[in-house]
Chain A
Amino acid sequence: MGLLNPLNLLYALSLAALLAIYLRARSRPTLEVSSLMLFEEVPAPVAKSRLLRVDRLFWLEALALGAITLAVAGLYVRVNQPAGTNHRHALVFDLGAAMGATTGDHGSSRLDEARHAAAQIIANAPAGDRFTVSGYALEAETFRAAGSGPQEARDALAALTPAAVAARPAALRAALMRARAADQIDLFADRPPPAAAIDDAGLAGRLNFHQVGTPAPNLAIVSLDAGVPRSTVGRCVVRNFSNRPQYCDLVIEAAGREVFHSMLIAEPRAEIVVPFGPLAAGGLVNARIATPDALAADNQRWALAPSIAHAHALVLSRDAAVRDDLARIVLAINPNFLVTAADPDSFKRSQHFDLAIIHDSPDQGVNADSRLLIFPEPPLDGSKRPQLVPVTRSVALAELQERADAGTLSAPVMLGPARVLAPPPWMEPIARGVSVGEHESFPLAAFGFDGDALVGVLAFDVRDHLLLDPDRMDALVLAIDLLRRLVAPRDVLIEPTGSFVTVAAGAHARLTAPDGTMRSLVPDQWGRVRFRTLQTGRYLVTSNVPAVAVYANYYDAGESDLSAPPSASATSSSPSPIAAAGPSRLSVRPIAIPLVILALLALLGESIMLTQRAIRWRASHV
């Protein structure tokens, strides 16, 4: 016998409380009487055995509490399961990027090692056992549902591939929850799972953890900044996760031409900042580490250098300070912009612009390929003119709480006045916030394709140099992110792995992944296709409109650090591992229901005794 969660035995402290109540009840209160002539002394034998006196009510209550405590703690028995009885196995695999790290001389990955261990389990399992194969990275995914035989399970093992993303604890928790029904769960990962995730999963069966992989040297490209062509140098940051110095053959190419190639020596667990350029022209920049190491996913990275071609940008605002701030930011992103700052009341709207930034002004009549609406005007009273991004109301003070690329901010950023937007379905919110004093959040920034035009919107006002305020840097980061999306080439996108990418596409869109696999994508009613990047490299979306290339970059400090020594080769959560499979085996069977029935019977017996006492003493309560 054993306990699934011995921590729950803390509930047995209730027995101590019961004992205290019992002793309190057994203590002899002093009662004053008129004369002792009327009372007989308690016979000596009874007085001597007071400490061991059997109080049936006490023992019944103790029995009920004890049974409930053991039921909560998950008391189970091991029963012999006859041969031939189906046993359910759940094989759960970590499919994070680190599982793709190669180890050993044979070039096998950690996932291969896990596959091999799982195959052994399948091979040793008696006939009739069923298997579930599932994995987790960004989310839990089941590859073979329960009921699969050994061959189907082996096929599922072969189909497992690591994703170039970091495995999330929430995904592990979800995968374990899905496997809860199994008699035995085998978890394969390169690092011990968080205890909280296992506890949250509330597993009833046993969990065997198989840690795979050995420490391996790894180099990773942390970041790549292409710089500004003909103006500023670019920077590439390489990190050595090994405890030893590593050679790093770094190659940087721009527009297909090699702009940097050098063999570097990276100090143990240190970063190298490699400057290059300035580049001669804008375009796609690729950096890669040619030196083979354990993890290939973080060995290359892409960035876009702004075009050197002059582009025209328009900044419309009635506030001169806002025009000045926005023009500075546009020029900081790309110095080749020719910025026209104007008051909307005096602006002639016939000229065409590559980018138009319109602050608190109507956007009608502005001819631009991309437009950024900042603090868009609410509709005039009685106006039936449709708005590009409808404004429902204004709030006096808004807080930025969440950014798409940064998640929930640790501290909300106070912004000032803002418009509450009702973004059309073709727009994706990339930041959210709340009005001070309210609880319901609303979009503070959104981005999308309106036909062929790119449209971004910032809902908050940027007057009073808000974007240049160092205490509200998140607002500036959000504005720059939005501007970069608007000025980026339409046919090339740089995205982190794990993110959803929305691309304008026509009918019959096909997606070619970096590993060469192809699949069809169905555009939505606005002509967009949406997919998730799970591999590093180039995704190509082809349709009857010009193709779009999406370059996915991967870097995660936790996953890329492969030098951490593994703990035990195989550890297990509660309960302890059981013997290897044989003709007959022990099976864990919780006995919560019998314990609860026992507790109910004890309470029933107590009720009967109390009722008898009430009848005997003619009391309405006892």
Chain B
Amino acid sequence: MLEARAFEPEFLHQLDGLMLGTRRARTHRAGQRIIGRHQGGGIEPENFREYSPGDDLRFLDWNAFARLDDLTIRTFRAERQLEITIMVDASASMAVPADDDKLGLALTLGAGLAFIGMNENDPVRLVAFAGRHGGSRLETTPFRRRRETYVEFRPFVNALKSGGATRISAAVGDLLHERRPPGMVIVISDFLVSPGDYEEALDRLLGARHEVKVLNVMGDRESTGNYPPGNYRVRDCESGELRDVVFGPAAAEACRRRVADHTARLSAFCSRRGIMYAPAFGASHLDEIMAREFPRLGVIA
């Protein structure tokens, strides 16, 4: 399975030195919400600026005042503690078609992003979600910050099985019940649900002031419609609904068209909401996806 690659040294070596960029402020360790980059209680000097009333005199640069007779405030880069939650769709659709290994691709990408996040000592956790009995099934790992603890994600990744329906909004609702501070949420899914479901979910994440990134995973065969020609009765692996289909060139073209429409709608929604959207089509293109889409998600060297 592809997810085993997420813990291979060669794979992790590629991710070494990368960091996950963010457009939003990271929280103070104290948990105070501050918008934008701000001076904080860190130890990394960032800049100097002119004193204005109300500034903390502890940061006044007395040496500069003595030489220049100007009051200058020394600013520091804040201590960055950005909670990163990587939500991986573990519904039944992620295991179909079996040879596409969508779940493996999603877990590999999620684990890779977790590793990158841990490069900055940010707390990272993996969350698997799927629908069960009308509700949602949410499996989470503890937040892990140090890279040395990355391997502790392995049992979770290896043991994860797909099953159940895709309920993104329900899973997001369960997640928000935890009332964690705003951070970054990366949703990895095939998004083969009604647009209303994923739009509601993403809106709720944005409403909770999370920075949201979307990784749309699709399989090779699924995205190209490359099924063996002939008459088939297809069954939805989640709903069990049946449909008669004649596979052939026309059906493949129709399938590609539907995938394009579906992703275009998702991408447009993300664009409107300021959500980073990245497609990841085909487990066989893992390296290409990482090279092309990780920068789009804010991964910088």
Binding site for B on A (CB under 8 A): 25-42, 46-47, 613, 616-617
Q: Chain B's nearest CB lies how many Å from the CB of A27?
A: 8
Q: Are A29 and B229 touching (Cβ within 8 A)? A: no
Question: Which 4 residue pairs across A and B have the least CB separation, nearest first?
Answer: A35-B192, A34-B93, A28-B233, A34-B96
Residue of B nearest to A27 (CB): B231
Chain B residues in 8 Å Cβ range of A616: 249
**Are A35 and B93 also in contact (CB < 8 A) when A26-B231, A40-B251, A40-B254 are?**
yes
Of B97, B232, B238, chain A has the most CB atoms within 10 Å of the CB of B232
Cα A46 to Cα B248 in complex, Å, equals 14
Q: Are B244 and A41 touching (Cβ within 8 A)? A: yes
Residue of B nearest to A47 (CB): B244
Chain A residues in 8 Å Cβ range of B241: 36
The one of A26, A31, A46 that contacts B234, using a Cβ cutoff of 8 Å: A31
Cα A205 to Cα B219 in complex, Å, equals 67
**Are A37 and B258 also in contact (CB < 8 A) when A28-B231, A30-B235 are?**
yes
Q: Chain B's nearest CB lies how many Å from the CB of A50?
A: 8
Chain B residues in 8 Å Cβ range of A39: 234, 243, 245, 251, 254-255, 258
Asked if B230 is an interface residue, CB under 8 A from chain A, the answer is yes
**Are A31 and B232 also in contact (CB < 8 A) when A38-B259, A39-B255, A41-B244 are?**
yes
**Are A31 and B244 also in contact (CB < 8 A) when A40-B254, A617-B229 are?**
no
Q: Chain A's nearest CB lies how many Å from the CB of B99?
A: 12
Q: Are B232 and A34 touching (Cβ within 8 A)? A: no
Cα A505 to Cα B239 in complex, Å, equals 105
Q: Are B230 and A32 touching (Cβ within 8 A)? A: no
Cα A31 to Cα B230 in complex, Å, equals 11
**Are A32 and B249 also in contact (CB < 8 A) when A37-B192, A38-B225 are?**
no
**Are A34 and B237 also in contact (CB < 8 A) when A25-B230, A26-B231, A40-B245 are?**
yes
Q: Are B244 and A28 touching (Cβ within 8 A)? A: yes
Asked if B246 is an interface residue, CB under 8 A from chain A, the answer is yes
Given contacts A30-B235, A36-B234, 4 further A-B contacts (CB under 8 A): A33-B237, A38-B222, A38-B258, A41-B245
Of A31, A34, A39, chain B has the most CB atoms within 10 Å of the CB of A34
Asked if B24 is an interface residue, CB under 8 A from chain A, the answer is no
Cα A349 to Cα B190 in complex, Å, equals 117
Residue of B nearest to A53 (CB): B231
Cα A32 to Cα B235 in complex, Å, equals 5
**Are A36 and B229 also in contact (CB < 8 A) when A42-B244, A42-B245, A46-B246 are?**
no
Chain A residues in 8 Å Cβ range of B227: 31
For window 239-266 of B, CB contacts with A under 8 Å fall at: 239, 241-246, 249, 251, 254-255, 258-259, 262
Asked if B46 is an interface residue, CB under 8 A from chain A, the answer is no
Chain A residues in 8 Å Cβ range of B288: none
Residue of B nearest to A34 (CB): B93
Cα A215 to Cα B117 in complex, Å, equals 114
The one of B232, B243, B249 that contacts A29, using a Cβ cutoff of 8 Å: B232
The one of B97, B231, B243 that contacts A36, using a Cβ cutoff of 8 Å: B243
Q: Are B243 and A32 touching (Cβ within 8 A)? A: no
Of B229, B244, B258, chain A has the most CB atoms within 10 Å of the CB of B244
Cα A39 to Cα B259 in complex, Å, equals 10
Cα A474 to Cα B11 in complex, Å, equals 93
Cα A41 to Cα B255 in complex, Å, equals 11
Asked if B70 is an interface residue, CB under 8 A from chain A, the answer is no
Chain A residues in 8 Å Cβ range of B93: 34-35
**Are A30 and B237 also in contact (CB < 8 A) when A39-B255, A42-B246, A47-B244 are?**
no
Q: Chain B's nearest CB lies how many Å from the CB of A46?
A: 7
Asked if B50 is an interface residue, CB under 8 A from chain A, the answer is no
Q: Are B232 and A28 touching (Cβ within 8 A)? A: yes
Chain A residues in 8 Å Cβ range of B258: 37-40
Chain B residues in 8 Å Cβ range of A617: 229
Q: Are B233 and A30 touching (Cβ within 8 A)? A: yes
Q: Are A33 and B246 touching (Cβ within 8 A)? A: no
Chain B residues in 8 Å Cβ range of A47: 244
Chain B residues in 8 Å Cβ range of A26: 231
Cα A616 to Cα B255 in complex, Å, equals 17
Q: Are A32 and B234 touching (Cβ within 8 A)? A: yes
Asked if B236 is an interface residue, CB under 8 A from chain A, the answer is yes
Cα A31 to Cα B229 in complex, Å, equals 12
Residue of B nearest to A616 (CB): B249
Chain A residues in 8 Å Cβ range of B259: 38
Cα A26 to Cα B230 in complex, Å, equals 8
Chain A residues in 8 Å Cβ range of B246: 42, 46
For window 200-246 of B, CB contacts with A under 8 Å fall at: 219, 222, 225, 227, 229-239, 241-246
Cα A25 to Cα B233 in complex, Å, equals 13
Q: Are B251 and A33 touching (Cβ within 8 A)? A: no
Q: Chain A's nearest CB lies how many Å from the CB of B98?
A: 9
Q: Chain B's nearest CB lies how many Å from the CB of A151?
A: 72
Chain B residues in 8 Å Cβ range of A32: 96-97, 234-235, 237
Chain B residues in 8 Å Cβ range of A31: 227, 232-235, 245
Q: Chain A's nearest CB lies how many Å from the CB of B247?
A: 8
Residue of B nearest to A50 (CB): B231
30 contacts between A and B (CB under 8 A): A28-B233, A30-B233, A31-B232, A31-B235, A31-B245, A32-B96, A32-B234, A33-B234, A33-B236, A33-B237, A34-B96, A34-B192, A34-B238, A35-B93, A35-B238, A36-B239, A36-B243, A37-B258, A38-B192, A38-B222, A38-B255, A38-B258, A38-B259, A38-B262, A40-B258, A42-B244, A42-B245, A42-B246, A47-B244, A617-B229
Of A31, A42, A47, A616, chain B has the most CB atoms within 10 Å of the CB of A31
Cα A107 to Cα B88 in complex, Å, equals 111
Q: Are A34 and B235 touching (Cβ within 8 A)? A: no
Cα A28 to Cα B232 in complex, Å, equals 4
